[in-house]
Each structure stands twice: as structure tokens, then as C-alpha cells.
Structure 1
């Protein structure tokens, strides 16, 4: 019986992926095998040694102590792309809201008294204040071409916008999915130069903090729009505020309310709505549940942020999974240890990701506790288990 501890409200469709005859799923469980969460902050939680994996029903993992868990041989999974359509739609909505000045216009009408005789004349007079512009022919810079960025770029092209994308690590798969009319920039500055709008779709790291800043904002066209529906800190809010106040920028659309932006007439501030759709929450929960199951039951790794992707068809009845530091001759020492226990290896696969290596071995027989103990005694082995 596997035990899954949940944090936050996880979509029922995802929780139903765990068969109840083999899984116990609850928010309060002793010695869980895995944790499943959305935005809950795990940094201050004492995570039990029993935990083999953590699954984040979303893309970002800033709320998870990934490095500390890696040192314990704990796999951390996320759900890249599961919320891509939800965020894409919000970006397009943000562009339309800002370009047509819809929120201040709606606020103006809400402030009128419909019982007054001049109501209709006030409506007609007021619309002159909210003249907007259309998107076709405008140039959009998309920073980050993962699942979300590709979706945004293609949708913007379908609306008639010129689109330029920047991502030095774009995958072959995502590159193939891009509309052929999308330009590729070689730097953030080049992507934003002459752009009428910029949207960011990258994780927050040391390299992406203040990725959009005063210097590259200065290269955009007058009246440009800035959208940050990715992570707080990627856009330099102070630089954007300065551009708004000087009327060099038309609007800022952000999913991250911060002091200094609240109440600004050119800012559309949302309460972190990026992935807040029923479909997105269900997609994320299903993806994470399936990945946790496959890891717990078969040791397979898909969409981990700290372990290498590794999927091995099973041969025989017993499988051993080993997580270790990426040091020379670890596979040889693992094989030797099993050989000393008279255990024959039927099938083996090994890969690494940075400082962590991962090995799956299908074997004859079932290793006893002494064999497992011997595997754990190998220098650099962080976790070994029998499936």
C-alpha cells in the first residue's frame, strides 16, 4: 500500500488516478511515500524520511526545496504544459484588455447614474477617453518558448500580430510547434527592440531575475505593453512604473500584485489567475498522479526537475532503483554489490542530470535487506529501493 499526502485542494480527477486498493490518499498521513501539492510552501515543512517523491501540480517549483530533497535522493516532479492553454488564454485576454482600455472603460460606465437624463450622452461622451488600438500588425516579443510561450506565440500570429521569440534552450519539439512566420531573436534585447508588447514565460532564476528591465524596455516602441503572467521578479516593476508614469508604456498586465503598482490607472493586476481554470487544475493533477504512480511502482522518471528522464520496460518480477551522486564507477560498484549477493542483472539503464545519477536494474530474485544495506553503503548512493 502506497501512501500519498496531499497539500492544497487537488482536483478529484487527479486523485482518482490512484487505485484505492493500492493507495491511501489523504491530507494527514503518517510516513507518506509521496507528497502532492500545488502552491503550498514546503520549505518550512519537516519532510519525513519515508518520502520518495514530491509532485507539484503545476510548472514552477519555487515552493519546493529541490536541492535539499535531491541530497536525500527524493524525486521532484512537475507538470509542464498542463496549464499552457489556461495561461495562453490569459495572455491573449490581457493584450485585448489593455489594447482596448476595457477595464477603465467599464469602470467609467459603472460610475454613471442610469437614472439621470444625461446618462446616454455621458456614455457617448466618455467613450472618447478610451479609444484603443488593434493588435494585427503590432509586434509581440515572447521571452521563453516552452509549452506556454509557443502557445502564446502561435495564438498571437493567428490574431495577425508580428511575433519574435527568444529562448536559447528551446527544445526541438517546441521549435517544430512554432508557426513558421515567427522570427527568432538571439537575445532578449534583440527580441524587445521595436516591439509593441512583451510577454515573459520563463522560470525565476538568477539569470531571469529582472529579465525585463529599464535598459531593454527603452528599446520598445512608444506605447508598448508589458505582460508578466509567469513569476514575480522576472520583470523590474520599478522600471515599468517609471515607463508608465512617463507614458512611454501604455499598460502593464501582471498576475503578481506588488506595492507601488496597486491602483495605477495603467496597470491591470490579477490575483495569480494564470492556471486557475478547472481544466488546468485537472490536467496538472492527472499528470502528476500518473508520474508519481509510475515512479513509485516502476521507478520510471518523466518530468522530474532533479532526476534524469528514464523509462525502462520491465523484465522479470523485481526491479531495483538507485539514486546516487554522479561519481565515477557507481554503476560498476552497484553491479558488483548485486553480484556478491548472487543476484543476476537482466536489464539495466543509467543516466545522469547534473550532480545526480539514476539507475534502474531488472534482476533475478529479490534482494534481501542485507543487499539493500550494502547498496546504501556504496559511497554516493542516496537511496536504493526494491520495486
Structure 2
């Protein structure tokens, strides 16, 4: 079977090779594909084609995807956590070093000089850019996931004292964090103690405006804020006031808005933190692997709207179901199978919020009976999407 994939935003072609020979990329069926692979494409005003089963975001953030709308349509949304983590880490470390020495302003000033005596002008004016070293300074890292944990470890290696805050840190990330990083239980400890603060959390209702007037009021004067996560984590009105009063020495962000541009003590980068050749390739590879695994086996890895699901496909047929998370649904699924006299080889059901995903492996080779079962599932009010996958037997 050949699957159709539509891509957006110039996905790395080498990474797309991970899809394999059974995938047609941007071909004749791209108006009604099985899957999307995207980067920054905004899908909020897009009508999803009926055949669309999966969307893979080649990156970590999924704010450009209407998750609820996709879930209701039975579309599994994937992201690629960690694929660009090293790129963002390096960008943040660079931002810390540049801000400590004010390299950006220094370079801009040097490029305004004219005349045969430029060397003398430089020597006379360079004192205004005398900075500080980062060794011995305190860095607060909010969010200790794939990116934050790397920043914490590398900042410690260049001599910084690192505080880390993340009440939801995963076991995998925790294992990778140096024991020298000071884990704090209250974000206020970050605000009160750190010379530099960098944030690496998703944008949610709880994290929006993490940096607000109350947060800035707890900080010491001369704090540098670095935001390579999401624009709305910072309340700009409160930020401007904190800069005016000297609480914030510099704000460095990868998310530009008109009100932030050409402001003293604010440095705006054009969303390039994760934009390296290596990161784009890694994201494309991971997104392609996720789509291939899902389309060929029904297994799910790194979905943001459905649980991770892994079960080796050894039965003649596999049916996957996206269903509403209602009482007795598993029992009803099992009953439907028994009514067509089919034996269940394996069944796996997990829920996430109001929806659930079921992998149903069937010890049956009679395609007529399988088709009858698929029809029964498709007629159910609580089952949103049904997929039939043929095994190797």
C-alpha cells in the first residue's frame, strides 16, 4: 500500500527519505493525503481533508495546529521533542555570553564609525562596552526538558551557578540533569536569586505571562531575561516597566513583535533558535519516522493529543480505533469482535482526556469477517476513526 504525504515549509529532503518507498510525497493525492508534515504552517484556518489521519510537526511547538479540531476529526498530531534541542541550547548559551559583554551593541556601535582614525575612536569608546564574565553568576532555568536540561548542564560547565525549576520534569530528563544543578520547588526562588533567567516551557493557560508584574517585582535589579520558548510567556507591558526601573537589564527573545523592535535593552532575533541545518534534518527525520511507524503499524510515538502506543504487529490483521473515552467502550469493542466469531490476539487501549486509542490485533485470516467487523466499528457513534492494517502473516 502506498501512502500519500503532503509537506509544508520546505521539509529537509534527506530527512524525508526516512519515509521509505511506500510513501508518495507531494504527489497526485496531495489534495487529500494520509498525512501532513509541517514546520511553521498555520493550520488554524485550514479545512482538513477527509482522508487526513496524521500531522507531524517538525519541531516541538504545536501552537500553529488546532489540536482540539484535529482530535475531534480523529487526526493524530505528532511533534519532534528534542530534535532541535542542541540548536536552541547553543543559541541560549550564546545569548547569555553576548548579553554579558554587550557584544551586539558593541558591534553596532563600531559599524557607525568613520574616518582614518577609527582605531583611535574604538580605543576611546570601548569602555562603554565593558561587560562582566558569566563565571560565578546565577542562571535560572525554567523548564528542564530536552532543551532546559542541556542549558543547565552546559551553563554549569562554563562556571555558572544553575538553579532549575520544573514541577513536571520527566524521569528521562531528570536522569540527564547534573546533580550540581540546584533544583528548586518554587519558581519564586528563580526570580529572587538569579542574574540570568531563561525559560523553556510550552505555552498554556498556566504558563502564559509567567513573566508578569508580580514576577518582575521579585527580581533583583540588573536581571537578564532570555526567551527562546514562546512570545506570550512574557507580559510586554510589565517588561517595559521592569526595564524602565532597572529590574531587567536586557531582554533577549527569538519572537519578534512590532512593539519589541527598536527598543533600548531589548534584543530580538528572527525565530532562528532552532534553525540550524542539523536541527532541521533531525526534525525531518523524526517526523518522517513517526509518520511511517503510525501509517504502517498504527503505533504512536510523540503524539500531543493521543497516548504513546506500542505493540508488535504479529497478527494477520490489526484494527486501530480512535474513540471517545466513554464507559464500557472496551467491553463493547470486545463484544463486537466476538459477535463475528473472531479471536483477539492482543488488545491495547489507552485514553488521553476525552478520547482514547485502541490497538486491536486479530487472530483471523478471513477478510470477509474482518470487513464485517470494520463496518460494525464504523457504524458506532463513539468510534471516530477506524483503520485496518494488514500484518505480515
Q: TM-score range by the shorter chain?
A: over 0.9
Which whole-Å CA distance do the structure 2 matches of 1:261 and 1:303 have between them? Answer: 34
2:146–2:173 Cα contact (<8 Å) kept: yes
Q: Which structure 2 residue ranges, 5 or more long, are not aligned?
A: none
Match runs of 1:228-377 below 5 Å: 228-363=227-362, 364-365=364-365, 366=367, 367-377=369-379
Deviation at 1:185? 1.6
1:11 corresponds to which residue?
A: 12
Give the match's secondary structure for 2:231: coil
Q: Matches of 1:19 and 1:287 in 2, distance apart? A: 13
Q: Determine the structure 2 residue equivalent to 1:174.
A: 173
Deviations 1:164-206 (A, max 9, x none): 1111111111111111011112222222212101111011111
> Unpaired segments of 5 or more residues in structure 1?
none
**Residue 165 of structure 1: aligned partner:** 164
Per-residue deviation at 1:27?
Answer: 7.0
Task: Please state how far the C-alpha of 1:318 moved relative to its aligned partner.
Answer: 1.1
- Residue of structure 2 equivalent to 1:81: 82
Instruction: Say which is worse superposed, 270-279 or 357-366, in terms of deviation.
Output: 357-366
Deviation at residue 368 of structure 1 after TM alignment: 4.1
Mapped partners of 2:247, 2:167: distance in 1: 29
CA distance, structure 1, for counterparts of residue 152 and residue 308 of structure 2:
27
Q: Which SS does the other structure have where 1:372 is aligned?
A: helix
C-alpha separation between the residues in 2 aligned to 1:216 and 1:186?
16
Quote the Cα distance in structure 1 between the aligned partners of 2:19 and 2:294.
13
1:67 maps to 68
User: How far apart are 1:378 and its partner, in Å?
Assistant: 2.8
| CA apart distance, 1:133 | 0.6
Q: 1:329 and 1:9 mapped to 2: Cα distance?
A: 45
Is contact 1:352-1:358 (8 Å) kept? yes
Question: Counterpart of 2:169 in 1: which secondary structure?
Answer: coil
Range that drifts further, 283-292 or 330-339: 330-339
Q: Any idea what the Cα deviations from partners look like across 1:324-375, whole Å, max 9, x if unmatched?
A: 1111211111111122122211111111112111111111224544321211
Distance in 1 separating the partners of 2:27 and 2:94: 35
1:262-319 per-residue CA deviation (whole Å, 9 max, x = no partner) reads 1123111100012110111110110010011111110101000011111001122211
Q: Specify the alignment match of 2:134 in structure 1.
A: 135
- Give the ranges of 4+ consecutive aligned residues of structure 1 lying more than 4 Å apart after TM superposition: none
| Aligned length in residues | 384
TM-score by length of 2: 0.95
What is the aligned-residue RMSD (CA, Å)?
1.4
